[in-house]
A = this chain, B = another copy of it.
Amino acid sequence: MRRIKLIVAYDGTHYAGYQVQPNGNTIQAEIESVLARMHRHPVKIVASGRTDARVHALGQVIHFDTSLEMPAERFVKALNAMLPDDILVKQAEEMDDTFHARYGAKRKEYRYHIRQTEDPFRRHYAATVTYKLSLEAMRQAMERLIGTHDFTSFSVTKAEVEDRVRTIYEAEVLEMGDEIIFRFVGSGFLYNQVRIMVGTVIEVGRGKYQPADIIQMLEAKDRRVAGITAPPHGLYLWNVNYEKVD
A residues whose Cβ falls under 8 Å from a Cβ of B: 9-11, 56, 80, 85-88, 118-121, 123, 125
Q: Given B11, B87, B88, B120, which contacts A10 in the complex, CB threshold below 8 Å? A: B120
How many copies of this chain?
A: 2
Closest residue of chain B to A121, judged by CB? Answer: B11
Q: Which residues of B contact A88 (CB under 8 A)?
A: 118-120
Q: How far is the CB of A61 from chain B (nearest CB, A)?
A: 16
Closest 4 CB pairs of A and B: A11-B120, A86-B120, A88-B120, A85-B123
Would A118 and B86 count as touching, CB distance under 8 A?
Answer: no
Closest residue of chain B to A9, judged by CB? Answer: B120
Closest residue of chain B to A119, judged by CB? Answer: B88
- Besides A9-B120, A85-B123, 17 other A-B contacts (C-beta < 8 A): A9-B119, A9-B121, A10-B120, A11-B120, A11-B121, A11-B123, A56-B121, A80-B118, A85-B118, A85-B120, A86-B120, A86-B123, A87-B120, A88-B118, A88-B119, A88-B120, A121-B125
